[in-house]
């Protein structure tokens, strides 16, 4: 059967109004029904035309139904003259370009409040470390490309001296049970309930990503993603962490939603730029109205990607636990690069945290340093000025390009030796010298979080770089 040949006049002939519904309908049908007979396709489109309200939630026909019932035109959006209220923590630690990015975001018509964490640095759209609350709007680049990127920590009641005494064993576990970068995946991926989610069936774009997501389950990306063994020190009894004071072996991982999240981000960012065109300096901050089909669809896809990222971490930790022959005493995890519905000053807003850790009162999280610097188990204080957020790490002081240009492998080896860290993989862009001093960053957020434990890296596995 040949490819579907559908023209605008065919839709006009069955009663479609001469507006954007025609182009949307043609695009949808040529994408999803290109091998179907023309008569069948026109019959389906006629049914949508006669009762568009019945199709508003449909993955294929939803946008057509929306175009048939919504007469609003796409309009260029101007920035406000003034900024929404905001607070910057550790301002002296943050480069001007990152602050300027926040200032631009705060002038969006949908912006209601913002904050910038002390690890903040330049990014796309929102700066890394940026927090932005908006009204009924979600910004794909305010979430980020690696949707739901997260930290996950397993705490084991194992004597930390075992890491040094059985180093080869621990190195072997990381080499055997972790996969990194674009091409590495497990030979036999594990099954997971995430793949039963209805989003993989109901959203046509996401449906196409399911096979790749299955293959990449339990793997990590490149860049600053890692899995590492280290020593955990819990100094005081905490009612939330519920781990007695002492020293333990920890497994800490950092990665996100892999190709699933990246493709979702790319697709819906494109749709956002078409629906809310903005001035050049703000073009990466285009948003999707949550009352629209695309806005609702992105929200579902974003949450799926976040849950998939969590599933990847749990798969990694399950594999390592099996090799260790032990069950963790506790697991702590949190995500960033995400958007949440939260009530601020009595109003439900969409809070974007791009490279920022949720820090609501008594909520646990992990703030890592670098491959040689300590990370911290923290408990949020629910500070309203930070929109209940904290930093997601130390933050970069050198860009990736600057690090590769100015740092040497011999410098890296010397720093690793001084800190007693064994490194597997990693490029020079992830050298610890490329990062801010985590202790200075932590000093700027004592009003945001309490420290309940510390993690010191000892064996670090990253992408080859």
What span, in angstroms and rounded, lies between the C-alpha atoms of 341 and 262? 22
Angle between helix 62-69 and 293-324 (nearest 10):
150
- Six token digits for residue 24: 């949307």
What is the C-alpha R_g of the chain? 24
pLDDT by 10s per residue, the chain, length 465: 567 888 888 888 888 887 778 888 988 888 888 888 889 999 999 999 889 889 988 888 998 998 888 755 567 889 999 999 999 999 999 999 999 999 999 999 999 999 999 999 998 889 999 999 999 999 999 999 999 999 999 999 999 999 999 999 999 999 999 999 988 999 989 999 999 999 999 898 999 999 999 999 999 999 999 999 999 999 889 999 999 999 999 999 999 999 999 999 999 999 999 889 999 999 999 999 998 889 999 999 999 999 999 999 999 999 999 999 999 999 999 999 999 999 999 999 999 999 999 999 999 999 999 999 999 999 999 999 999 999 999 999 999 999 999 999 999 999 999 999 999 999 999 999 999 999 999 999 999 999 999 999 999 999 987
pLDDT single digits (tens) 87-141: 999 999 999 999 999 999 999 999 999 999 999 999 888 999 999 999 999 999 9
What span, in angstroms and rounded, lies between the C-alpha atoms of 317 and 328? 9
pLDDT of residue 73: 59
Q: Are 288 and 298 in contact (CB under 8 A)?
A: yes
What span, in angstroms and rounded, lies between the C-alpha atoms of 264 and 60? 16
pLDDT of residue 354: 97
3-state helix, strand, coil in the chain (%, to 5): 40, 25, 35
Give the DSSP H/E element, type plus range, for residue 334. strand 330-335
pLDDT of residue 20: 79
Locus of tokens 């309490």 = 450
- Six token digits for residue 167: 């180093």
Q: Are 227 and 461 in contact (CB under 8 A)?
A: yes
Under DSSP, the state recorded for 93 is: G
Q: Are 455 and 250 in contact (CB under 8 A)?
A: yes
Greatest Cα pair distance in the chain: 79
Residues 6+ apart with CB under 8 A from 247: 159, 160, 231, 232, 233, 234
Q: Are 242 and 330 in contact (CB under 8 A)?
A: yes
> Quick count: other Cβ atoms within 10 Å of Cβ 192?
17
| Nearest of 190, 231, 234, 233 to residue 213 by alpha carbon | 190
What span, in angstroms and rounded, lies between the C-alpha atoms of 116 and 102? 7
| Nearest of 395, 399, 398, 403 to residue 444 by alpha carbon | 395
pLDDT single digits (tens) 179-205: 999 889 999 899 999 999 999 998 989
Q: Are 39 and 14 in contact (CB under 8 A)?
A: no
């Amino acid at each position: 059967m040949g490819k579907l040949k559908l023209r605008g006049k065919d839709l006009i002939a069955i009663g479609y109004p001469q507006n954007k519904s025609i182009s949307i309908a043609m695009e949808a049908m040529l994408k999803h029904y290109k091998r179907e007979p023309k008569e069948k396709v026109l019959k389906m489109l006629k049914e949508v035309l006669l009762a568009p309200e019945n199709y508003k939630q449909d993955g294929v026909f939803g946008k057509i139904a929306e175009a048939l019932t919504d007469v609003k035109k796409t309009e260029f959006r101007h920035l406000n003259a003034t900024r929404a209220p905001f607070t910057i923590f550790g301002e002296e630690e943050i480069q001007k370009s990152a602050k300027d990015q926040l200032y631009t975001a705060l002038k969006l018509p949908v912006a209601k409040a913002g904050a910038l964490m002390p690890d903040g640095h330049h990014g796309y759209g929102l700066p890394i470390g940026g927090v932005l609350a908006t009204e009924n709007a979600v910004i794909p680049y305010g979430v980020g490309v690696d949707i739901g990127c997260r930290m996950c920590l397993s705490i084991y009641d194992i004597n930390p001296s075992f890491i040094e005494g059985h180093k080869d064993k621990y190195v072997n576990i990381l080499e055997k049970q972790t996969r990194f970068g674009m091409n590495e995946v497990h030979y036999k991926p594990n099954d997971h309930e995430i793949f039963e989610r209805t989003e993989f069936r109901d959203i046509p774009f996401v449906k196409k990503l399911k096979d790749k997501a299955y293959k990449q389950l339990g793997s990590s990306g490149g860049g600053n993603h890692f899995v590492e063994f280290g020593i955990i020190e819990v100094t005081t009894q905490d009612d939330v962490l519920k781990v007695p004071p002492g020293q333990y072996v920890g497994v800490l991982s950092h990665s996100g939603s892999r190709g699933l999240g990246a493709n979702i981000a790319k697709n819906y960012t494109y749709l956002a730029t078409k629906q809310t065109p903005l001035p050049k300096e703000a073009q990466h901050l285009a948003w999707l109205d949550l009352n629209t089909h695309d806005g609702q669809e992105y929200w579902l896809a974003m949450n799926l990607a976040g849950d998939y990222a969590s599933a990847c971490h749990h798969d990694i930790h399950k594999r390592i636990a099996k090799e260790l022959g032990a069950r963790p005493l506790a697991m702590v995890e949190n995500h960033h690069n995400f958007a949440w519905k939260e009530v601020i000053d009595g109003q439900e807003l969409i809070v974007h945290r791009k490279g920022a850790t949720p820090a609501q009162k008594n909520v646990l999280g992990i703030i890592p340093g670098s491959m040689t610097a300590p990370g911290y188990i923290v408990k949020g204080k629910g500070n309203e000025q930070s929109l209940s957020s904290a930093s997601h790490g130390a933050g970069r002081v050198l860009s990736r390009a600057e690090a590769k240009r100015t740092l040497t492998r011999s410098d890296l080896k010397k720093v690793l030796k001084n800190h007693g860290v064994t490194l597997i993989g990693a490029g020079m862009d992830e050298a610890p010298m490329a990062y801010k001093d985590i202790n200075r960053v932590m000093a700027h957020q004592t009003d945001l979080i309490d420290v309940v434990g510390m993690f010191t890296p000892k064996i670090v596995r990253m992408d080859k770089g």
